[in-house]
Structure 1
Amino acid sequence: MSFRGGRMKTGLRSRPSGKPQRRPRLPKPPPEPIPFLAHLKSIPDPVEALDLFLSPSSSPHHRNPAVVSSLLYRLARSRLFSPPHLPSLLRLARSNRVPLRPALLSSIIRHLGRARLPREAFSLFLRSPRRPLPCLNHTLNALVDNRCLPQARSLLSQHAAYSNVVSYNILLKGVLREHGLDAALHLLDEMSSRRVAPSVATYNALVGHASRSGMVARAFGLKEEAARKGVEPNAVTYALLMEGLCLEGKHAEARRLMFDMEYRGCKTGQVNYGVLMSDCARRGDFEGAKELVAEMRRRRMKPDGVIYSILVNYLCGAMRVDEAYKVHVEMQMEGCEPGAAVYRMMVDGFCRVRDFDGGLRVLNAMLSSGHCPRGETFVCLVSGLCQGGRVEDACFVLEEMVKRKKGLEAEGWRSLVEAISGGCDSNIGLISKLTSMDFVEDEE
């Protein structure tokens, strides 16, 4: 060994000072394409795709997680929950021990909840070999949204060890709806005893319920309590308080609160202007609502679809459909694409004022944008067109209903029969068209 400069030379490389440098991770190669999966996705009808998958010739793909997961998601999104669709495929996946990702299970549970099938969602959660937190929360939400609060309480208590504040927020929503504020505050105490810190969403739920129930002073007290616990209010908190003030007829105080929140360090958002606009429009002060939109632009806040939908909704409700249509066109010129709700408001508004030309015009734009009206909107259009003797246009609307599998309920059929049985000879063609179409029951 040799010494140089008072240090022993060992022949080992010295480690550089500072944090050790990690080798950059190489990106994962993309998965190889599966021709059978691509073929399944190209089949527009999910039932037909399922039949192909279950055929004996496709048995080599029955253990492929990518193929099984893709088909399960399509069936859930199409609400094909009854045997032999989704249940059969789930049984096949379990028998073949196909691993299903938690995100897929969460999505299926969410769709079951939206389809008002909470028992099926709960059963799928219990049968899952792994029960991650997202699946638990989606199951809780399915139970709470479908008024199965006792089952949701029991489920949360059984899995309290790995629940989080989102789990309690979901349960809080149901407690507020069914038992009121005092019971919800008891649940808040239970969260503290389990060392689950409430979030701003927790207090927003409490503040919103108190504001809408005429307890505005108590709502302000809850905001102060949240601040004392380190939960700072956000724009939604102030919007809920503003809504409570507006419901009490205190529009000026609500407006002052919106500017006061900025002094407290909370930036004003679209939701705050939306509350003031809704209050103006509810009182028939449409000029005041439009002035708020102009004020937003002056403050360099671009109005979004929700802001425009408030104006469209209240203008259509006040039978001022031509003004609503101008707002509808204006939002598109501003680069804000109308959503399905705005299109539906416009079509329904034109139907209410018996302007079926305008309704048909908006319907065409709506369909070309990939959106679809409700079944009752179709019925209103068809009935009005029939009464005006416009059978060809009525047939067009009916054909669009069939393409989108929009059926008619009993009330819809009654209205339609009354409209086309008025003795007009031109409606004979429409009756023939109806008897040749394959209507299905409306899912919504």
Structure 2
Amino acid sequence: MPRKGLKPDKLTFGALINALCMELKIKEAFKLKKDMCKIYKVPSSTFIYGVMINGLCRIGELTLAFRLKDELITKKLVLNSAIYNSLISGLFKAGRRDDAFGVIEEMDSNGIKPDTTTYNIMIDEFGKAKDFESAYRVLKEMPDKGCKPNVITYNMLIGMLCKDGRLSEASDLLEDMPRQGCKPDVVAYRTLFDGLCGGSQSEKAAFILDEMIFKGYVPHSASIHRFVSGLCQGDNMKLLFRVLNSLAKGNAIDENTWLMVVSRIYQEDGPQVSIASQLLDSLLL
């Protein structure tokens, strides 16, 4: 750039330092920041401090991260919620919960309101600790604090509830999302579907599958194969046919799954074979 008569500015260095921090090349980012100030005489910015603090928190270098935050304040740059969120997340990951809550208090005292990301970090931490009572409390408090839960908020909770075997609560949460002005996405449905399948709740999984297909979503192909495989090993042929019908509507059955189903159906004796053949013929049309 200098050879072409162009002077690198904050945006130039911001893009480069951000890329280095994304790749966790923090040492190189520090060198470039130093060159930026000393060689190119370009002052740093809140954005540059933010991406560097985030990178340091990701690798657990919290002392350096807080040192940069103090340097930012000394240079009279503006702190923002993104910088605080990086510090809070890093402290939680390091198991320093009390310090994380201390930063949240500092954030509030400095007139920076916690945002949805702040609350999502807290919910994620409580969920990992299986403290669902506290996670629900935070979820309930968010609207009162002027923060609306987003689809990430709900997806995290649904995933953690499914992982803990609390499938009924996860189902209730997904059902409550539209009432809270948050539309469930494909991740929410896939997470719950996989949870129900893993919990051997085939009827409920089939119900969620119907809803997914209706909304234009489909499970992962591996999830479909596992679910259908489980049904093929059971004796509830009615449920198997219902699931096949739903999957056919969503064009979500691969060749291997079809072959597995055909093999299972033709193990049956009596009228089941005729019914199954008619069903398969109708689905293939």
Decide which of 27, 31, 37 is 1:186's aligned counterpart: 31
Q: Kindly provide the CA deviation profile for residues 228-282 of structure 1, in whole angstroms up to 9, marking residues without a partner as x.
A: 3443221121111011111121212212211211111212111111111111110
Q: CA RMSD in A?
A: 3.5
- The whole-number CA distance in structure 2 between the counterparts of 1:380 and 1:228 is 57
- The whole-number CA distance in structure 1 between the counterparts of 2:193 and 2:186 is 11
Instruction: Report the equivalent of 2:212.
Output: 366
Amino acid at match of 1:268: P
Structure 2 residue 17 is matched with structure 1 residue 172: yes
Decide which of 229, 233, 237 is 2:79's aligned counterpart: 233
> How far is the alpha carbon of 1:303 from its aligned partner?
2.3
Decide which of 127, 144, 161 is 1:315's aligned counterpart: 161
Amino acid at match of 2:242: D
- Give secondary structure in 2 for the equivalent of 1:214: coil
Question: Aligned pair in 2 of structure 1 residues 301, 178: CA closer, same or farther (>3 Å)?
Answer: closer
Is the 1:191–1:197 contact (alpha carbons within 8 Å) kept by the matching residues of 2? yes
Instruction: Report the equivalent of 2:186.
Output: 340
Instruction: Report the equivalent of 2:104.
Output: 258
What are the equivalent positions in structure 2 for 1:8-407 lying under 5 Å apart? 161=6, 165=10, 168-178=13-23, 180-192=25-37, 193-194=39-40, 198-388=44-234, 389=237, 390-402=239-251
Question: Aligned pair in 2 of structure 1 residues 356, 272: CA closer, same or farther (>3 Å)?
Answer: same
Is the 2:213–2:250 contact (alpha carbons within 8 Å) kept by the matching residues of 1? no
Question: Aligned pair in 2 of structure 1 residues 200, 295: CA closer, same or farther (>3 Å)?
Answer: same
Decide which of 242, 247, 267 is 1:425's aligned counterpart: 267
Amino acid at match of 1:183: E
- The whole-number CA distance in structure 1 between the counterparts of 2:186 and 2:47 is 27
- The whole-number CA distance in structure 1 between the counterparts of 2:19 and 2:156 is 27
> How far is the alpha carbon of 1:420 from its aligned partner?
6.5
Normalising by structure 1, what TM-score? 0.53
> How far is the alpha carbon of 1:297 from its aligned partner?
3.8
> How far is the alpha carbon of 1:334 from its aligned partner?
1.8
Amino acid at match of 1:307: T
Structure with larger Rg = 1
Q: Kindly provide the CA deviation profile for residues 363-404 of structure 1, in whole angstroms up to 9, marking residues without a partner as x.
A: 23233334343322332333233333344234224424537x
> How far is the alpha carbon of 1:290 from its aligned partner?
0.9
Question: Aligned pair in 2 of structure 1 residues 200, 361: CA closer, same or farther (>3 Å)?
Answer: farther
Question: Aligned pair in 2 of structure 1 residues 398, 364: CA closer, same or farther (>3 Å)?
Answer: closer
Question: Aligned pair in 2 of structure 1 residues 306, 177: CA closer, same or farther (>3 Å)?
Answer: closer
- Give secondary structure in 2 for the equivalent of 1:184: helix
- The whole-number CA distance in structure 2 between the counterparts of 1:322 and 1:157 is 62
Amino acid at match of 1:329: E
- The whole-number CA distance in structure 1 between the counterparts of 2:59 and 2:284 is 48
Question: Aligned pair in 2 of structure 1 residues 420, 171: CA closer, same or farther (>3 Å)?
Answer: farther
Q: Kindly provide the CA deviation profile for residues 332-383 of structure 1, in whole angstroms up to 9, marking residues without a partner as x.
A: 2222211222122111111111212222222232333343433223323332
Is the 2:213–2:246 contact (alpha carbons within 8 Å) kept by the matching residues of 1? no
Amino acid at match of 1:395: L
- The whole-number CA distance in structure 2 between the counterparts of 1:252 and 1:239 is 15
- Give secondary structure in 2 for the equivalent of 1:402: coil
Question: Aligned pair in 2 of structure 1 residues 256, 380: CA closer, same or farther (>3 Å)?
Answer: same
Moved more, 237-246 or 291-300: 291-300
- Give secondary structure in 2 for the equivalent of 1:371: coil
Is the 2:178–2:184 contact (alpha carbons within 8 Å) kept by the matching residues of 1? yes
- The whole-number CA distance in structure 2 between the counterparts of 1:327 and 1:321 is 10
Question: Aligned pair in 2 of structure 1 residues 345, 163: CA closer, same or farther (>3 Å)?
Answer: farther
Normalising by structure 2, what TM-score? 0.79
Moved more, 303-312 or 188-197: 188-197
- The whole-number CA distance in structure 2 between the counterparts of 1:199 and 1:229 is 9
Is the 1:382–1:416 contact (alpha carbons within 8 Å) kept by the matching residues of 2? no
Question: Aligned pair in 2 of structure 1 residues 369, 394: CA closer, same or farther (>3 Å)?
Answer: closer
Amino acid at match of 1:361: F
Is the 1:402–1:437 contact (alpha carbons within 8 Å) kept by the matching residues of 2? no
Is the 1:331–1:337 contact (alpha carbons within 8 Å) kept by the matching residues of 2? yes
Is the 1:208–1:241 contact (alpha carbons within 8 Å) kept by the matching residues of 2? yes
